[in-house]
């Protein structure tokens, strides 16, 4: 089983994702340079967070034209699991692999803090080991995380169970106070219609070790490992 | 050459005569500008050098002391920490967003120039009182500038400090510190040697940014400089991220002889300093420097402070390896000249030689001034404190809440949640405890980081204030479970040509030096920022101490929050009756007077050693030092961070307000299991450290009795709300 | 040669907190009658195209593919011929 972490110019959570997969979960993991035109064999691709191309113009707007993205689109269309985290999520929406777009946080400030998210869809490859409704504590760090999508698409998404995570309080209530950036319907993560492409603003790779004070992020990557093993649902 | 010309570049007639003597002729316009920027205080330290020599700078762990882009200290396992702090005060006063952003950018370059991977940023910030709208603007934008730069480049901003005092209204201080990690064998230096080796400029192209910036930083701010915006550089963190990755990749090829970032005085300083360190010369052609703007004349290219550029000295014949790496990252790299063995910096514009001066004369031969100094008169008045005239407040709960809401003490979450302090997933202790702790991947070690300075103490007594800055920094590291290793300092003062200011400077440096000696923390890098004054007022002397400590085993990492109901609360050190210079006097009585708290360095060392020994023995569950707001605020912060209350009993017969809120030094509040009490007392007795049981962790309130009398009783949740929300409320 | 100015704004239906903050500030500064403030981006492009129609087509393509995200943004542009 092999993971690929895409490196765009300006990606800065690439090393964190690599560390989480290789060192914490002991998975075969490689970096994939954004100029790559021929993708090697991978089972899962991670688009990491950071500021690809400085997030100039819009987060992910320029990165999505990197040569590797054509390959990522093919990979996704073949049904294999792809996850975009934070800036990686923005790249996925800009590339049209996921619906919607991002606005500036409604506070107009960058925000870095632990938030709670509720699992809305526990059937994607990245949430299979979560319980439906399970609350996770995972940090966010972004300035443009305010998710937006038009009403019609949103309705579609709800019908197809494409909302994967919503911001909530510690008890799992998706309240206005627990929404850190103004995202529509407290949306923190979504998937495509098929469920194999997931985007999320919170950073699971940042909370996978005891020394960092929180291991809630582990379940995301363990889920996909379990999924790729073809596996029975157990930890 | 008219008199006006040398004055325009900031030189005196004596300095001009010296240049003529060095060259054996009059300098041309370009050459004069080179001396102007290189002999400014900012680049030459001409006013501070003789005083800085008294800092202890060596030690068995020191791999690189002052004089390079950054200092380096050994942490074992073949690894070392690279550290440096630098001011960006004047640019931030004019344009706070870009000033602060490029301050972060500049200090990051200083770290990766040494070959190190930057792993953490800290910032020491000072502004006027937040009641002023201009101050709010400066504060909000400086924070945004630091955040946007660090967040984009992906280096976590893990700590620092923020103070507000009217003395900084016209002169905000923005000091940025960066820390990197390196293998001993990978250390790079800013040296140009080997005649024929290539001189390359890499990174961003050159524009007219910050022309005159270096001399700009060395003059008093006047009305005019409010309009002097062209002297401010614009930062591009994305470019710097690419430059960082490209440089670290390039260093692995082994073709790099030396490297230096282009900071103050741009190409002039990078060329002359690298050549001077290598006892070499350099012959460069300014027409080969990639430009962003048209019509730039040679002198503009030489002194431009365009950001995100580096000078790389490359082995002859291996230039293409550099081009290859930089091309991969989408960056410029151009050979602009060669290293020579004639000691001269020769500047050509195509075939025409437009300037030729000894490289050493620019980098090292600036005149050194032994400034006059005199104890300033203000100390007579402010040293006096009529304690009798101060009433003991009746509502001590109210005083505590007032202090917790004071922006100097209040939680800085409003600031640090704008910083990505988690990226790189190594931040073991986030902002908000005594020091930040960052683990070192691949080892079981971590480093603790802090910046400290109480400038009010320095104002009342610069020598003691300077020593306390060092002692408090070390104490913060100790409380986190780290052995303090080394200091980088940022000395912010007023106009050194004024004898009173220079006296403050000498006193502060001598106080710091003594503390560094006793606490075993040599000064390995630093920066001096003078002329922090406006027409009407000068800042308090503000010698900021950045310090790094080593946590030998991550299991030693300790935080300030109380942990468990029933734990004993102990004080290492003694309560005193000192109120001078305290936040309490300022907030409640409106006074910035009295003597700075006394500091007995030997006792301080014993308290710190004792605390660290107990932490390493595994018996300390929380540790927090007493600083601004005294022991009452320290206890409140322990409760708030831990989300749990405490019952405290003081035997003391001191004045209640001074006991609770006085800022006596060398005190650490720790908690431990009741079963470890005897062991702790024995250790303290053996190390000759006073140790008192104050009470225990309990309930949801902080309850304090003094001599059997209930004096305070306040819900932890209420204290927490006041403390957390104060700055956000003010900023709206 | 053509100079194109591309203006990108948030769609009318989408809240603009930055524009709103500016509006509040202007009102606080007693600029009465400020009804609405919207913030956007101005992008200037120099183009070497032979004719105006071709230049316009290219600018529109640029907007659709990269410069604007039409999920949240509208765009308009001016194109000016500036000599050969």
- Nearest-Cα distance to chain B for A135, in Å, is 21
At A233 the pLDDT is 42
Q: What is the ipTM of this complex?
A: 0.96
Domain boundaries, chain B: 10-39+189-365, 404-423+558-732
Q: Distance (Å, rounded) from C-alpha B530 to C-alpha B495?
A: 6
For residue A62, give the chain C residue with the closest CA.
C66
**Residue C82 pLDDT more than 60?**
yes
Q: How many CB atoms lie within 10 A of CB B6?
A: 20
At B659 the pLDDT is 96
Taking contacts as CB-CB distances below 8 angstroms, the residues of chain A near C21 are 108
- Nearest-Cα distance to chain B for A161, in Å, is 31
Q: Distance (Å, rounded) from C-alpha B385 to C-alpha B593?
A: 6
- CB nearest to B238's CB, from A10, A13, A141: A10
At B209 the pLDDT is 78
Q: How many CB atoms lie within 10 A of CB B185?
A: 7
CB contact under 8 Å between A109 and B144, yes or no, is yes
Chains A and C are in contact, defined as 3 or more C-beta pairs closer than 8 angstroms: yes
SS3 at position B625 = strand
Note the pLDDT tens digit of each residue in B281-340.
999 999 999 998 888 889 889 988 888 999 999 999 999 999 999 999 999 899 999 999
Helix (H) or strand (E) holding B123: strand B117-127
Is B100:B142 a contact under the CB 8 Å cutoff? yes
Q: What is the DSSP string of B272-309?
A: HHHHHHTT-EEEEEGGGS-BSSSS--HHHHHH---SSE
Going across the sheet that includes B691-697, the strands are B622-625, B668-672, B568-572, B691-697, B646-650, B701-706, B709-715
Is B203:B109 a contact under the CB 8 Å cutoff? no
At B231 the pLDDT is 60
- Nearest-Cα distance to chain B for A157, in Å, is 31
Check for a shared fold between B10-39+189-365 and B404-423+558-732.
yes
For residue B152, give the chain A residue with the closest CA.
A51
Average pLDDT, chain B: 94
* Residue B237 tokens, joined: 């963190």
**Residue B358 pLDDT more than 60?**
yes
Residue B516 pLDDT class (50, 70, 90 cuts): very high
Strands (E), C1-84: 2-10, 40-47, 73-81
Q: Distance (Å, rounded) from C-alpha B376 to C-alpha B74?
A: 41
Q: Distance (Å, rounded) from C-alpha B645 to C-alpha B563?
A: 10
CB contact under 8 Å between B425 and A56, yes or no, is no
| Half-sphere exposure (Cβ direction) of B662: Cα atoms closer than 13 Å | 24
Q: Distance (Å, rounded) from C-alpha B20 to C-alpha A163?
A: 75
Q: Distance (Å, rounded) from C-alpha C36 to C-alpha B78?
A: 61
Average pLDDT over residues B580-605: 97
* Residue that wins the pLDDT comparison between C83 and C55: C55
Average pLDDT over residues B521-550: 94
Strands (E), B424-481: 427-429, 436-439, 446-452
CB contact under 8 Å between C69 and A100, yes or no, is no
**Residue B213 pLDDT more than 90?**
no
Q: Residue B39 — φ and ψ, nearest 5°? A: -95, 10
CB contact under 8 Å between C69 and A101, yes or no, is yes
Q: Distance (Å, rounded) from C-alpha B609 to C-alpha A52?
A: 46
SS (H, E, C) B377-400: CHHHHHCCCCHHHCCCCCCHHHHH
- CB nearest to C66's CB, from A61, A107, A148: A61
- CB nearest to A51's CB, from B152, B428, B554: B152
CB contact under 8 Å between A108 and C72, yes or no, is no
Alpha helices in A131-191 (DSSP H): 151-159
* Residue B110 tokens, joined: 């200083």
Distances (CA, A) of B81 to A105, B400, B546: 36, 39, 13
Chains B and C are in contact, defined as 3 or more C-beta pairs closer than 8 angstroms: no
Catalytic sites of B, residue numbers: 42, 88
At B292 the pLDDT is 86
Burial of B60 (0-12, 13-18, 19+ CB in 10 A): exposed
**Residue B98 pLDDT more than 70?**
yes
Is B111:B178 a contact under the CB 8 Å cutoff? yes
Contacts of B428 (CB under 8 A, 6+ apart): A211, A212, A213, B437, B438, B439, B446, B554, B557
CB contact under 8 Å between C15 and A106, yes or no, is yes
Taking contacts as CB-CB distances below 8 angstroms, the residues of chain C near A143 are none
Q: How many CB atoms lie within 10 A of CB B363?
A: 21
Burial of B342 (0-12, 13-18, 19+ CB in 10 A): middle
Note the pLDDT tens digit of each residue in B684-727.
999 999 999 999 999 999 999 999 999 999 999 999 999 999 99
Taking contacts as CB-CB distances below 8 angstroms, the residues of chain B near A208 are 425
Residue C84 pLDDT class (50, 70, 90 cuts): low
- Nearest-Cα distance to chain B for A203, in Å, is 10
Contacts of B53 (CB under 8 A, 6+ apart): none
Q: How many CB atoms lie within 10 A of CB A88?
A: 31
The vertex-B449 CA angle with B680 and B127, nearest 5°, equals 115
Residue B228 pLDDT class (50, 70, 90 cuts): very low
Query: Residue B467's closest CA among B512, B435, B428?
Result: B512
Query: Residue B315's closest CA among B338, B281, B342?
Result: B338
Is B279:B343 a contact under the CB 8 Å cutoff? yes
Distances (CA, A) of B177 to B118, B122, B427, B520: 11, 5, 16, 21
The CATH topology of domain A2-228 is Rossmann fold (3.40.50)
Domain boundaries, chain A: 2-228
SS3 at position B655 = coil
**Residue B229 pLDDT more than 50?**
no
Q: What is the DSSP string of B670-716?
A: EEE-GGGHHHHHHHHHHTT--EEEEEEE-TTEEEEEETTEEEEEEEH
CA B54 to chain centre: 19
- CB nearest to A94's CB, from C14, C21, C69: C69
For residue A105, give the chain C residue with the closest CA.
C17
CB contact under 8 Å between C71 and A61, yes or no, is no
Q: Distance (Å, rounded) from C-alpha B492 to C-alpha B173?
A: 8
Chains that touch B (3 or more CB pairs under 8 A): A
Taking contacts as CB-CB distances below 8 angstroms, the residues of chain A near B416 are 112
Taking contacts as CB-CB distances below 8 angstroms, the residues of chain B near A209 are 425
Q: For B7, which DSSP code?
A: H
- Nearest-Cα distance to chain C for A30, in Å, is 29
Q: What is the CATH number of the domain that holds C64?
A: 3.30.1280.10
CATH of region B10-39+189-365: 3.90.650.10
Taking contacts as CB-CB distances below 8 angstroms, the residues of chain B near A50 are 154
Q: Which single residue is written with the structure tokens 């494409």?
A: A162
What's the domain range around C22? Answer: 2-81
Average pLDDT over residues A191-220: 97
Burial of B718 (0-12, 13-18, 19+ CB in 10 A): middle
Chains that touch C (3 or more CB pairs under 8 A): A
Contacts of A229 (CB under 8 A, 6+ apart): A1
- CB nearest to A104's CB, from C17, C69, C71: C17
CB contact under 8 Å between B423 and A209, yes or no, is no
The CATH topology of domain B404-423+558-732 is Phosphoribosyl-aminoimidazole Synthetase; Chain A, domain 2 (3.90.650)
- Nearest-Cα distance to chain A for B245, in Å, is 9
- Taking a contact as any Cβ pair under 8 Å apart, which residues of chain C between 45 and 74 contact chain A? 66-67, 69, 71-72
Q: Distance (Å, rounded) from C-alpha B721 to C-alpha B699?
A: 17
- The percent of residues above 90 in pLDDT, for chain B, comes to 87
- CB nearest to C71's CB, from A100, A104, A182: A100
**Residue B227 pLDDT more than 60?**
no
CB contact under 8 Å between C18 and A108, yes or no, is yes
Note the pLDDT tens digit of each residue in A154-194.
999 999 999 999 999 999 999 999 999 999 999 999 999 99
Q: Distance (Å, rounded) from C-alpha B165 to C-alpha B453?
A: 13
Note the pLDDT tens digit of each residue in A89-145.
999 999 999 999 999 999 999 999 999 999 999 999 999 999 999 999 999 999 999
User: For chain C, how many structural domains are there in total?
Assistant: 1
- Nearest-Cα distance to chain A for C13, in Å, is 10
CB pairs < 8 Å spanning A and C:
32
């Amino acid at each position: 089983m092999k993971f690929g972490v895409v490196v765009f110019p300006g990606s800065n959570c690439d090393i964190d994702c690599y560390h989480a997969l290789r060192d914490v979960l002991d998975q075969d993991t490689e970096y994939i340079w954004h100029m790559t035109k021929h993708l090697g064999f991978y089972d899962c691709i991670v688009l990491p967070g950071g500021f690809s191309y400085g997030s100039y113009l819009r987060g992910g707007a320029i990165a999505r034209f990197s040569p590797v993205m054509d390959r990522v689109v093919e990979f996704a269309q073949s049904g294999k699991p792809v996850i975009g985290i934070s800036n990686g999520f923005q790249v996925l929406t800009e590339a049209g692999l996921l619906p919607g777009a991002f606005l500036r946080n409604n506070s107009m400030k960058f925000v870095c803090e632990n938030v709670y998210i509720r699992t809305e869809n526990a059937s994607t490859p990245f949430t299979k080991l979560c319980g439906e409704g399970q609350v996770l504590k995972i940090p966010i760090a972004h300035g443009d995380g305010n998710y937006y999508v038009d009403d019609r698409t949103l309705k579609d998404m709800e019908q197809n169970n494409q909302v994967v995570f919503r911001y909530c309080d510690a008890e799992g209530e998706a309240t206005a106070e627990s929404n850190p950036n103004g995202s529509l319907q407290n949306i923190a993560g979504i998937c495509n219609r098929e469920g194999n492409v997931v985007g999320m603003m919170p950073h699971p790779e940042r909370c996978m070790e005891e020394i960092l004070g929180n291991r809630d992020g582990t379940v995301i990557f363990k889920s996909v490992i379990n999924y790729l093993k073809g596996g029975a649902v157990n930890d | 050459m008219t008199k006006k010309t040398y004055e325009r570049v900031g030189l005196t007639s004596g300095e001009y005569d010296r240049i003529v003597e060095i060259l054996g002729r009059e300098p041309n316009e370009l050459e004069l500008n080179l001396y102007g920027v290189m002999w400014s205080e900012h680049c030459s330290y001409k006013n501070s050098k003789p005083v800085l020599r008294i800092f202890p700078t060596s030690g068995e762990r020191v791999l690189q002391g002052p004089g390079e882009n950054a200092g380096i200290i050994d942490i074992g396992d073949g690894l070392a920490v690279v550290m440096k702090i630098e001011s960006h005060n004047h640019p931030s006063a004019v344009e706070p967003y870009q000033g602060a952003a490029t301050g972060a950018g500049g200090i990051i370059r200083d770290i990766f120039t040494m070959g190190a991977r930057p792993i953490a940023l800290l910032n020491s910030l000072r502004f006027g009182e937040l009641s002023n709208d201009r101050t709010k603007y400066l504060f909000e934008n400086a924070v945004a500038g630091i955040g946007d730069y660090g967040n984009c480049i992906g280096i976590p901003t893990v700590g620092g400090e923020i103070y507000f005092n009217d003395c900084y209204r016209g002169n905000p201080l923005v000091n940025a510190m960066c820390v990197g990690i390196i293998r001993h064998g990978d250390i790079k230096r800013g040296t140009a040697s080997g005649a024929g080796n290539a001189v390359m400029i890499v990174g961003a192209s050159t524009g007219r940014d910050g022309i005159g910036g270096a001399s700009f930083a060395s003059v008093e701010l006047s009305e005019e400089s409010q309009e002097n915006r062209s002297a401010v550089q614009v930062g591009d963190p994305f470019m710097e991220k690419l430059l960082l990755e490209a440089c670290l990749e390039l260093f692995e090829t082994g073709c790099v002889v030396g490297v230096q970032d282009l900071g103050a005085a741009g190409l002039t300083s990078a060329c002359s300093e690298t050549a001077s360190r290598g006892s070499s010369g350099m012959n460069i052609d300014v027409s080969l420097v990639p430009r962003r703007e048209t019509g730039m004349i040679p002198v503009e290219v030489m002194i431009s402070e365009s950001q995100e550029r580096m000078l790389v000295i490359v082995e002859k014949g291996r230039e293409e390896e550099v081009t290859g790496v930089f091309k991969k990252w989408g960056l410029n790299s151009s050979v602009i000249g060669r290293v020579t063995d004639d000691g001269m910096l020769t500047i050509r514009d195509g075939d025409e030689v437009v300037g030729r001066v000894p490289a050493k004369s620019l980098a090292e031969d600036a005149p050194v001034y032994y400034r006059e100094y005199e104890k300033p008169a203000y100390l007579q008045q402010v040293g006096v404190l009529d304690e009798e005239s101060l009433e003991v407040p009746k509502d001590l709960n109210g005083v505590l809440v007032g202090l917790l809401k004071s922006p100097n003490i209040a939680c800085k979450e409003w600031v640090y949640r704008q910083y990505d302090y988690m990226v790189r997933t190594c931040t073991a202790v986030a902002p908000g405890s005594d020091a930040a702790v960052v683990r070192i991947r691949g080892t079981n070690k971590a480093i603790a980081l802090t910046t400290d300075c109480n400038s009010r103490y320095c104002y009342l007594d610069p020598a003691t204030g300077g020593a306390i800055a060092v002692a408090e920094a070390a104490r913060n590291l100790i409380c986190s479970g780290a052995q303090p290793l080394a200091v980088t300092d940022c000395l912010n003062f007023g106009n050194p040509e004024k004898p009173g200011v220079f006296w403050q400077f000498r006193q502060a440096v001598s106080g710091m030096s003594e503390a560094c000696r006793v606490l075993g923390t040599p000064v390995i890098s630093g920066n001096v920022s003078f002329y922090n004054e406006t027409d009407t007022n000068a800042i308090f002397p503000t010698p900021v101490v950045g310090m790094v400590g080593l946590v030998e085993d991550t299991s030693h990492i300790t935080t300030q929050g109380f942990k468990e109901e029933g734990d004993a609360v102990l004080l290492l050190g003694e309560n005193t009756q000192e109120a001078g210079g305290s936040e309490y006097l300022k907030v409640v009585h409106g006074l910035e007077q009295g003597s700075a708290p006394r500091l007995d360095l030997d006792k301080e060392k014993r308290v710190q050693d004792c605390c660290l020994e107990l932490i390493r023995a595994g018996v300390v569950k929380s540790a927090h030092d007493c600083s601004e707001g005294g022991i009452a605020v320290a206890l409140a912060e322990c409760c708030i961070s831990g989300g749990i209350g405490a019952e405290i009993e003081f035997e003391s017969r001191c004045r209640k307000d001074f006991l609770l809120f006085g800022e006596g030094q060398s005190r650490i509040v720790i908690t431990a299991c009741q079963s470890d009490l005897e062991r702790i007392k024995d250790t303290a007795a053996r190390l000759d450290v006073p140790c008192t049981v104050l009470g225990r962790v309990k309930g949801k309130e902080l309850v304090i009795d003094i001599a059997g009398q209930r004096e305070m009783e306040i819900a932890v949740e209420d204290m927490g709300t006041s403390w957390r929300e104060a700055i956000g409320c003010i900023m709206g | 040669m053509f100079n194109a100015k591309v203006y990108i704004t948030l769609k009318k239906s989408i809240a603009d907190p930055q524009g709103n903050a500016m509006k509040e500030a202007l009102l606080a500064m007693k600029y009465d009658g400020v009804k609405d403030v919207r913030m956007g981006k101005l992008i200037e492009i120099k183009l070497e195209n032979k004719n105006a129609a071709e230049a316009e087509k290219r600018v529109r393509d640029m907007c659709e593919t990269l410069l604007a995200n039409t999920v949240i943004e509208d765009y308009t542009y001016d194109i000016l011929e500036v000599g050969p």
